[in-house]
Structures are given as structure tokens and as C-alpha cells.
A and B are shown apart, each in its own frame.
Chain A
Amino acid sequence: MTDFPITLAFPPQGHFTQPHLAIPCLVAYLRQQGFEDVEQRDLSIEAYDHFLSKDYLSYAREKATARLPLDQSAGELSYKEARAFRAAAETAVSADVLIERIEDAKATLRGEACFDTDAYVPAVRALYHGLRLVSAAHFPSELTPHNFTMAYSNDRSADVQAAIRDGSQNPFLRYFRQEVLPGLVARKPRVLGLSIVYGSQLVPALTLARLVKEALPDCHITAGGGFLAYIGKKLMAAPGTADCLDSIIFHEGEGPLNALCTALRDGTDLGLIGSLTWFDRGGDVPLVVEPRPIENMAMHPLKLDDAPAPDFEGLPFDKYLSPELVLPYDINRGCYYGECTFCTLPTVIGPGYRTRQADTIAGDVVALKARYGAKHFNFITDCMPPGMIQDLPEALIAREAGVTWWSDARVEPRAYTKAGAQRLFESGCRKLLFGYETATPRLLKLMKKGQSLKGISEVSKNCADAGISVTWYAMVGFPSETVEEARASLEFLAQHEGIVREVSLQTFHIDEVSQVYKEPETFGVEMIEVEGADLALYHDYRSSVGMTQEEAAEMFGEMMAGFRRHLPIFAGDTIFYFMQKSHYFLHLASGTTPDEFAERCRVRADERRARGAQADLRLRSGFTVQELPFSYKDAVELLGHPLARAARPDFLTGRFVANAEEEAAARLAPLPRAERVLAYDAENHDFVELRPGGLEVVRALDRAGDFGSLLEQFDAKLPGGPERRARLTHFAAELHRAGLLAGATTQEPVPAGSAH
């Protein structure tokens, strides 16, 4: 069936470290069903790679500088101006350096150097800052490694429709037009399938869909994925959607997509395809009014054990920003437990719980390893049932799979025993993520977690003893939770220092599929309905007891600060390993134990704290400065305030909380004028704020060559006594700690108070 070209694409924005599973599963199934010409595109990684390039950043620098002039004349900086100021300041000081070094940074993450923290951290920073430059060019949009948001809200179709047409704020419009559309037009796919798993993909996906619809009116454009399982019905009913899409597939995609492609190829009725909602465009007589969506009956999910292993052929493996390939693989779908009152994962993935047999999984893993040379796997599962926890390691060991893997897990004390955890480790398991949520039994009960604190403690300890790194999912702000209860969660974590290595903390959100939304009285909450939000999925609420949403946001900050004290990975800049999917895991996979890694993080943080002012300290290469009319640091802190954060859509909800922007503007005091200097360099890639006086000393140091020479001159000319010398030495040590100065070799610090 080569005459029926199909293209399936994963639109931006997803993780840039590894491929997503959705499209490879669909590709495998379609190919198995006889569709030979199925192309898959990871447009998320392609876009990241394109944006984070010398050419694109040069373009972004011009655009950002024109859009955001660094105004030196304003009297004060209001909260509303702070974001633009920050972007302008960063662009001014870092753009040239980033353009010069961005390719090196990508190479670092893709190579062996990724395992060297001294190379890794600056490279990741360069990528983050590269994306800030891309964002500045499309201000106020923000593209990060974890999210894409605009000034438009995801929960209003009018906003979404405006966003997909806004070339000045939507970076993907130009990108798709220039880099993606020409190839698609040449290929002329009969079906374009878009996977919309995250809210951050909605606008980019519809941006592309509209362009393709215009260019290739005969191409059927369908979309599916987790995010659409929530809002797909509303999206199909919303104005403008018919200009972008022809249909949406709900829940599991394999069966419906195969049926859709078959029907389109054979010209049969779309009304018979299960789990499809589609626009009837009136056949040969096109409709003059906007077509109405037709919702078909649901289709039964697949027998997962019969589904083929995901097919990654055609993905640009060399573009992912990881030194080694980590392949996702679905061992089951749905949750066998499925009771937790806050959780909607079982709803998203479709009805029921389906699993592959342990032996099938092990066979697939061995085959994928042989086919792609991948030694590392991210098993995608809501959680493994106890039987599988026992069978899977045995099957992997029996097949001598020789892989490492990580996955989510539910607290199952019967399965994660000492012996069980040991077998898991032997089968290659290096990291497990457990839903801990809270240390308050009352809340665990309200959440229907079906687990005890003793249980979480026990399974975590057993896994840690076996050498498996343990991550906890935690939640703050569940309805009725008090400040004290949130602090108890932190306290319980502190008691597990050395056992738990990472915590993924979420603030609680109410979505429309959750039990909390359906039975608000049970949880003591009252929903706040927002008018005009026709794509709304998440809802604000008032709670009659416990923390308010604002208090929960503040508590989030307090808890993160607590994690920094108790978790070595979180303590310093090594937190980047936590933030880039699979990067910490790859260290574990390469043989580093969780203890060794934690120690490495500790040593790094201590080394940085202990940095002094040795004689050979010199300015790092590519040092640049920009004078500023306000404090950059204060602006960043202002924007980090819980009120300011609440005013930006987060990755989960993609929406603007009603009145949050006004509230933040009214309550956050403007910044006074201040003479400041922002510094950046091409080696450490960090923003450091100085005062004009500090810059004078830095310039003097630069002219002198190194700190020792500066001191010599200083002692010769101005034997101003130990106090002045101590000030100078203290300053150099601080610059060293901040990363602006580096020594050629490791030397003894210069004594602060005495001439040498």
C-alpha cells in the first residue's frame, strides 16, 4: 500500500532527551496492518534542534533586540514590565555568546561529556538560555525544555485560534512554514496524524494543522493523545477547529487510526469507525456553514499482548539531547488499581487495564535492543501490578536482556520485598518512582491511595538497599490539606534522607474528569466557573478548610527549599539532572550507584561553597557585561514570587488563572532604579549581577591578567592595609563562587589579610 502515504507527527513541545512513545506505537500497528508508507516525525526534537542553532539564534537576537529595547530611562520597573526587562537584559548580555557556543552545548549533551558535571551543567544552562533568547524574540511567549506558553490561554478557543495565527508571538508558525510544510507538500500524505499528549502541544499542533489544511485540502488531518482525551469533545465543538482538523481519535489510537486510514483509502463510511469524532463536510457538496462534529461509538481497546512492539524507524535519534538512547516501551495501559481520587490517568488511556505478558515484554526489549542498539528503557506504565513486578525481572533475566530501565510504580509492599527489589535490580531496574503524595493518613484515605506510610517506607528502603534509586511523587494543596500537614510531608521525607533521591512535587489541580470535580462536597471545595472558557479542563476552587490555592503555591516554595536541604541532587546546580528526563538515570545505568551520585553532588556543592581567591584566578573566556537601570536579580525574584507565578499558565493547565495577573500587579511592589551590571560568560553560562564598582575591579583584574598580578600591583601601589586587601580578596572569592572567575589550576587561596 505504498500509494497511500501517511505521516504521523509528534508536535512540539515534549521532552528533548528521548522520543515519546505514542507515535512509534501507532506506526508499528499501521505497518503491521499492511500500510507500508508510514512516515513518523518528531517535530518537537526537530524544532528544538532548529531553534537551538547558530543561525536561528542570530535571527532571534535581531528580532528580540528590535522587539524589546532595553529602556534605560524608566523611573521604576512595575511587575508588568519586569518580564520584558528580564528578557531584554538577558538578550543584551548573552545572545552573542550563545550564538557562538550553542552547537558546542548540544554536542556536550549528546556525547560522553554529558557525564562530566563540569561540562554538563554549563551546557544545559546554555540550552536553557538559548531558549530564553528564542522566547524573547517571540515575547511574551515562553519556550523552555519543559513547556510552551503564550499570552493566549489554552482554555479559550478564541485565544487558541488567535495564537495559531500570531506570527510575531508563535515561533512555530514560521518554523512550520519554512522547515516542515515544504516536505509535507512534496510528500502529499493522505492522512496526517498529530499526537497531542501535553497541553503545551495544543497551539503548535493546531498551527501546523491549519497550514497543512490550507496547503493540502485533501489530506485528512486527525489528532489524538492524552490531552485530547480530556478536551477533545470541547475542541471539536469549538469555532475554528474545522479549519484545522478533520477528526479526533479518543483514547487508544491504534484500532481507530487503522480503521480511519482503511476507510479513507477505500472510500467507506467514517461513521462506522469506533472512538472517532469527525466533521461531516457534506461529501461532494461542500457545506457553507461550519460542519458539525459527529461522535461515533467507542471502540474496544486492543489486546495489548497482540500489539506489535513500538517501531522507532525514521526518528532522528542523533538529535535527542542525551548521550545514549533511552527508548520508551509500554508494558501495560490503564491502571489495575485505578481508585485514587485525584488521578485521571486511567480515564485518559481508555477503559480497563490491559497488559502484555512478561515474556512478550522481555522478547520485545531484546528485539528493540538488537534493532536500535538501545541498552536503556523507560517502561511506560501507570504502575505494575504485583504479579508483573515478580514476573518481569525473571523474564528479563532469563532472556539475558542486558538492559537497564526505569518506570513508575505503586506502593506494593508484598512485591517490593528485599528479595523482590534485588531481582528487579538484577534485571536492570535502576530507578523507580512511587506515588508517596503525603504523610498524612487522613489525606491518604481521602485520596483513596490504598497505602500506608509504613508501606511507602518499607518499599523505598528495600529498593534503596538493592541499589535502585527511589523517587517520590508528592502533592501539595490537596483539598483540606493544612500548612502543618504539608510540613509533615516534608518532615517524613527528611526521615528518608539517603533513601529517597528525588521528589517530583505537584501543586494540586482539579480537572473535570477527577472525582474531586464530580463530588466537590466530599472534599469540601466549591468550583469557580470561569465564563468563556469553552476549552476549560482545570478549575479553580474555594476550599472551606485547609490551605487556599495561594497558600499552597507558597507552600510549594517552602517544600522545594526543604528538598534542596535534604536531597543532594537538588542542593545545587546538579538539579539539572533531575530536570532533564533520563539524565540522572543514565548515570545510574552507566554503573554509578545512587550513593556515589549523591556524594558527587555533595562534593560539587561543597567545592563551590569553599572556593577562595587563589592567585591564578582569571576572567572566563567570552566574558560580557551589560549595564542595567534596574536590578536583574530583583526582577527575577519578583517574577518568581508565587503571585507572579500564578499569573503565568503552567505546563499542566496551560491557562491563565482568573485575575491572577491583576492581583500580582496590584500586590507586587515595583522595583526602584538601581545601577547594575549584568555579566555572562561563555564557559560557565550563568548570569551574575554586579555593581558598577565591582565592574571596575573586574576590568582591573582583566587588565592585570590574573588576580595574583592585580594583588601585586595593589600591594605595590596602595599598601592600604589588610582591610582593603581583604575586601578585594573576598570579592574575588565571590566571583569565583559565582563562576565568573576560574583558576588555571587548583591552588591554595591567597591569604586575605596579609601582603605576600
Chain B
Amino acid sequence: MQDDEKNIQEDAKAQAGAQATGAAAKLDLDNLDLTVETVEERISPSETNVFDK
């Protein structure tokens, strides 16, 4: 009985651990495309009336 209790407790602990690590565990890092792209602030001739009067 006591052993069972212990097992159950350990199971629960293990499950919680699995959930916590779940986020990372599901990541198949070898096959994920991790490209990050930003768009630089560009100035074009239509945006340069900064100093007109």
C-alpha cells in the first residue's frame, strides 16, 4: 500500500516534470527553420521632405 502510494506520488512528479519540459521536448530542432527577418527603416525620395519650408 505504502509502496503504491509512493509510486503514485512519483508518477505524479514525473508527469509534472514532463509537462514542464514538454515545451522544449516537442521541438524538433534539427528540422525547424529558425530564420528571423526584420525590415529596415528605409528612406525613399517620397519620404524626405524633412526640411522643406
B3 within 8 A of A: no
A473 within 8 A of B: yes
- Inside 8 A of B30's CB, which chain A residues have their CB? 724
- Inside 8 A of B46's CB, which chain A residues have their CB? 146-147, 149, 645, 648-652
Report Cα–Cα, A387/B19, bound state, in Å: 79
- Inside 8 A of B50's CB, which chain A residues have their CB? 146, 504, 578-579, 581
Report the nearest A residue to B49, measured CB to CB.
A651
Q: Is the CB of B24 within 8 A of A727?
A: no
Count of chain B residues with a beta carbon within 8 Å of a chain A beta carbon: 33
Report Cα–Cα, A737/B40, bound state, in Å: 12
Q: Is the CB of A700 within 8 A of B37?
A: no
A553 within 8 A of B: yes
- Inside 8 A of A737's CB, which chain B residues have their CB? 36
Q: Is the CB of A724 within 8 A of B53?
A: no
- Inside 8 A of B42's CB, which chain A residues have their CB? 560, 640
Report Cα–Cα, A633/B39, bound state, in Å: 6
Contact status of A727 and B29, CB under 8 A, knowing A688-B37, A690-B35, A734-B36? yes
A533 within 8 A of B: no
- Inside 8 A of A581's CB, which chain B residues have their CB? 50-51
Q: Which of A443-451, A711-719, A746-754 participates in binding chain B?
A: A711-719
A568 → chain B closest CB, angstroms: 15
B1 within 8 A of A: no
Count of chain A to chain B residue pairs whose CB atoms are closer than 8 Å in the complex? 150
- Among B21, B32, B36, B45, point to the contact of A716 (Cβ < 8 A): B21
Report Cα–Cα, A596/B46, bound state, in Å: 30
- Inside 8 A of B49's CB, which chain A residues have their CB? 146-147, 198, 651-652
Residues of A participating in the B interface, judged by any CB pair closer than 8 Å: 21, 144, 146-147, 149, 197-198, 226, 380, 408, 433, 471, 473, 504-507, 553, 556, 560, 573, 575-576, 578-579, 581, 631-633, 636-637, 640, 645, 648-652, 686-694, 696-697, 699-701, 703-704, 710-711, 713-714, 716-718, 720, 724, 727-728, 730-731, 734-735, 737-739
User: Would you give 17 A-B contacts (Cβ < 8 Å), ordered by A?
Assistant: A433-B51, A575-B41, A632-B39, A648-B46, A650-B46, A651-B46, A688-B38, A689-B36, A690-B35, A691-B33, A692-B33, A697-B34, A704-B24, A710-B23, A713-B24, A713-B25, A724-B29
- With A408-B53, A691-B32, A724-B29 known, 20 other A-B pairs at CB within 8 A are A147-B49, A149-B46, A433-B51, A504-B48, A505-B48, A651-B49, A652-B49, A687-B38, A687-B39, A688-B38, A696-B27, A697-B27, A703-B23, A704-B23, A713-B20, A713-B25, A714-B27, A716-B17, A717-B25, A734-B34
